[in-house]
Amino acid sequence: MIDVQRPSCQPLLSVRDLVVQYQGASGAVQAVRGVSFDLASDESLALIGESGCGKTTLGLALLGLLPKAARIMGGQILYRTRDGRVVDVVRLSDAELRRFRWQECAMVFQGALNAFNPVLKIWDQVVDTARAHGFRDRTRIREQCERLLRLVQLDPTRVLDSYPHELSGGMRQRVMIALSLLLEPRLVIYDEPTTALDILTQRAIIEVLRSLRQELGFAMVFISHDLPLAAELADRVATMYAGRIVELADVRNLFYRPRHPYTRGLLLAVPPVSGPLTTVVSIPGSPPSLASLPAGCSFAPRCEFATDRCRREEPTLSTVAPGHWSACHHWSAVSLDRWMERLGGASHA
């Protein structure tokens, strides 16, 4: 097993060789194929990749929230609880899992416009959440909730007394973010929290998340297909492709010295802030169907570095520099240099 742990600290979460399989009518499909990573208790990890690469499935698996058709076929999700015990989320009983959710690990979903029960006032849903975890002191719940709502820049009195449809999309998402911190979880998973929102609201949400993390200090998994967004919030970034992590590195290293052709492709596909738009290069082809993956490296058919070896032999995640892992046979050949030259020789150091 490769060591993807940062040596200095004990991880809050370590995922080891996680395999999630969907049982479909036309056979089984693996959406997560052996994912491993560690997360420190103050760290923010971004999972990036195209739609259908298994990001959301991975996020749901961390909370034991997978749909009925999905099953964890192998691996561990080790979580260090407040009292120092290490539990495997995969093996928790239903009752333990229910307590684990939201109190230890909360999740904010993509498209949260519909995340609230339309027939209950926000305050009732807050109380529901607190009561499910045995908190019955309404005054304390109220205080905690009002504090969080003020942190996300909402007017607590107005919001708590509203029905979900009376709030705008951006407000609802902010309420959801506040609600995710109600029970002071130590890990929050954000699954594309800004996808359904307009660009200004997106900005506001990102600012809120950044300041909340400074204020309250929780670990965070940020799932996104938006690289610049991930760059703003993440300490480390994991690139996912076809159900695997193909590159994992500190955010600076990953953005300036990508060592996997897929990460490089994603970076080249981002329009530059300055410079001509012609420098945008999209990755040819489309992601493979998880039901019929090519032999060898699953990215090989779209990769300009691919050789016969890539089509034969699947590369494993291995260290390319301290704190930097890549799953590519030709990682040493991958660089952003050509892109940098086209930008006019800008330094990338």
Instruction: Give the binding range for another protein (CB under 8 A) out of 13-21, 108-116, 228-236, 252-260.
Output: 108-116
Ordered alpha helix ranges (H), the chain? 55-62, 94-103, 122-132, 138-151, 156-160, 169-180, 199-216, 227-233, 251-256, 261-268, 308-312, 337-342
Return the residue matching tokens 């103050």: 42
Q: Is 79 in the site for another protein (CB under 8 A)?
A: no
129, 194, 224, 326: residue in contact with another protein (rule CB under 8 A): 129
19, 41, 42, 65: residue in contact with another protein (rule CB under 8 A): 65
Q: Is 118 in the site for another protein (CB under 8 A)?
A: yes
Report residue 90 CA to chain centroid gap: 19
Look at strands 236-241 and 44-48 and give their pairing: parallel
Cα separation, 38 vs 11, whole angstroms: 6
Per-residue mark of binding to another protein, 20-59 (x: CB under 8 A) = ----------------------------------------
Nearest approach, Cβ of residue 47 and another protein (Å): 17
- For residue 127, the number of C-alpha atoms closer than 13 Å in the C-beta half-sphere is 12
Nearest approach, Cβ of residue 219 and another protein (Å): 17
Instruction: Give the binding range for another protein (CB under 8 A) out of 75-83, 95-103, 229-237, 284-292.
Output: 95-103
Cα separation, 312 vs 319, whole angstroms: 21
Cα separation, 41 vs 93, whole angstroms: 24
Closest CA to 53 of 298, 339, 347: 298
Nearer to another protein, 160 or 254 (CB): 160
73, 78, 115, 336: residue in contact with another protein (rule CB under 8 A): 115
73, 87, 132, 151: residue in contact with another protein (rule CB under 8 A): 132
Q: Is 138 in the site for another protein (CB under 8 A)?
A: no
Q: Is 332 in the site for another protein (CB under 8 A)?
A: no
List, in order, residues 6 or more apart from 78 with CB less than 8 Å away.
11, 13, 14, 15, 16, 86, 87, 88, 89
Q: Give the footprint of another protein on this chain (CB under 8 A).
A: 63, 65, 98-103, 106-107, 109, 111-112, 114-121, 128-129, 132-133, 163, 165, 176, 179
